[in-house]
Structure 1
Amino acid sequence: MTPSQDQIDAAMGAHPLVFRDPPLVRARKIALWVGFFGLFAWCLYDFNFSPERIWVGLGRLGRVMSFMFPPYLWQTWAEWLEILTALGETIAMAFMGTLLGAIVAFPLSFLGAKNINRIFWLRQGTRRGYDVIRAFETLILALIFIRAFGLGPLPGILAIAVSEIGTFSKLFSEALENTSRKPVEGVVASGGSRAQSIRYAIMPQVLPVHLSVLLYNFESNVRSGTILGIVGAGGIGFLLSDRISTYHWDQAWTMIFMIIAMVYLIDYLSGLIRTKLIGTADLAK
């Protein structure tokens, strides 16, 4: 039977602590909220945030946007070829970096999966290696490789590849750990070896996940490749930085539009690939 409001009020009056947090818990929550708002207010003050500064910045942004219209259209095939070649470099840089990172990360992921590697110190050391690699931002790696190998797409490819080794290794090893034990037990019960249980029971479960991760990161690396080009790693980002520095805002806007179209197209095509190879049912999970 559902209690009446009078009975609920009587119970709350008789046992108040049952219906609300103890004083210590309430004090802790208040302290956390005060600390949160205090940190937020300090960040606004330290970053020199003010309505006047935002208003002035929006005015300047409006003037910059006005310089971008109408977008510039190049008149000769040689000019278009330069832009299209740079777009191709960005896509190739993202593709090669993603592929190289996945090739190196695939075997490393087995060392970091607890259901594959039972040696505690080796597994934990491998996992900490993932963390060390992922601690380096792709842009920082690009600047280092540019100093070592010079300007061009090669430093961008290496930066993406090294960064993706840490990311793919972690995601691949987690996918291995989340596989079901039942297919493995079935292979072992049939007389299969440990290597055969990995090949025929674990890999069919993780390959769709690996493929999905690869395609998503490739999309992300196309966008990252644009940023890497701005610091000298080639591609469309290099030309975009050049146009912005020389105040050719109309040409910069056309390049930005082409980058948006390129990312949209790659996202669409990767979605078709995932649906074709993985299946609609798996994507819906």
Structure 2
Amino acid sequence: MAEQRYPEIFAFNARRGIGLALAWGIPFAVLLYGLVVFDFSPVRLWNGLGQLGMLIRFMFPPSIDGVMWEFMKAIFETLAMAFIGTLFAALIAVPFAFLSARNVLRFSPGRFFVRRGMDFLRGVDQLVWALVFVRAVGLGPLAGVMAIIISDIGTLAKLFSEAVEGADRKPGEGVAANGGNTLQCARFGILPQVLPMFISSTLYIFESNIRSATILGIVGAGGIGYQLSERIRGHHWEEVATILLMILFTVYLIDWVSGKIRSRLIEGA
């Protein structure tokens, strides 16, 4: 009955059939290729789980003998890296966000080049930037801070520009009607609307950078990541467990505090 009423649905369509075959076939082919190339086998997984269980047994009980102060210093170093990097990235991203927004910069070629520049900054992973800056400025937290700043400028500029483009135009039009220029329209007509979102996005990126700064330390950018990599190389697994517990607690605490602040910003309090 339905086939008679809607023949176009049940009729064979070669183009649609080919499209469906490609939509299902290509991901399946990529999946098979990955499983074969990466030697994804149950035996290898089982052996890996056995090795992982052995390492976990070596980690307990965690050890803090003579290293607690060193680990605490490294944790604060990681927090400082994430905070300074996020703060500078957010401040630098604000003008680029306005230059990337259609309702602020009407000059299309200029907006295009700003956006592509931001795409380039966030398109390169922080780990790659860290390797570059370790080579440029040497080992230590400065390389990690620079990597966070460069990468997050592109990310925050993208998030901020979307908020600017979604802002209500009436306040800006009111400023323009009273003789305000483009800069004043952006400052008094748009910025008060999007500032809570700017802060919320910055806090979220700061949370992410706590974890990122740990990874950056492994490649020589200082902080708790450097301590973690040194303990893993030396097979001091009980100290590795201590570091992992400290990282988990720190990330949980920052996430909790940041979530409280973001919820108040969203509620308008």
TM range (shorter): over 0.9
Give the alignment of 1:111-260 within 5 angstroms: 111-260=99-248
Task: Kindly provide the amino acid, as one letter, of the partner of residue 100 in structure 1.
Answer: F
Instruction: Give the corresponding residue for 2:62.
Output: 71
Q: C-alpha offsets along residues 38-70 of structure 1, whole Å, 9 cap, x if unaligned?
A: 111111101111111111111111111111111
Deviations 1:227-282 (A, max 9, x none): 01111111011111111111111110111010000000001111222234x14369
RMSD: 1.8
Amino acid at match of 1:260: L
**2:47 counterpart of 1:85:** no
Paired residue secondary structure (2:146): helix
Q: CA deviation at 1:20?
A: 6.0
State how far apart, in whole Å, the 2-side matches of 1:14 and 1:265 are.
Answer: 61
1:108 is the counterpart of 2:96: yes
Partner SS state of residue 72, structure 1 = coil
| Alpha-carbon distance change, 14 to 261 in structure 1, aligned in 2, over 3 angstroms | closer
Q: Which moved more, 1:213-222 or 1:128-137?
A: 128-137
State whether structure 2 residue 242 is matched by structure 1 residue 280: no
Higher mean Cα deviation, 19-28 or 247-256?
Answer: 19-28
- Where 1:38 maps in the other structure, the secondary structure is helix
Between Structure 1 and Structure 2, how many residues are aligned?
Answer: 269
TM-score normalised according to structure 1 size: 0.89
Q: Structure 2 CA distance, aligned partners of 1:22 and 1:268?
A: 53
* C-alpha distance in 2 between matches for 1:33 and 1:272: 43
The structure that has the greater radius of gyration is 1
Matched, 1:29 2:16: no
One-letter amino acid of the structure 2 residue matched with residue 175 of structure 1:
A
Which residue number in structure 2 is paired with residue 94 of structure 1? 82
Deviates more, 1:126-135 or 1:18-27: 18-27
Structure 1: gaps (5+ residues): 1-8
SS of 2:254's partner is helix
For 2:80 and 2:56, the matched residues in 1 are separated by 30
TM-score (normalizing by structure 2)? 0.94
2:4 aligned with 1:17, yes or no?
A: no
Q: Residue 125 of structure 1: CA displacement?
A: 0.6
Q: Which residue of 2 aligns with 1:5?
A: none
The alignment-based identity, stated in percent, is 48
> Contact 2:210–2:251 at 8 Å: present in 1 too?
yes
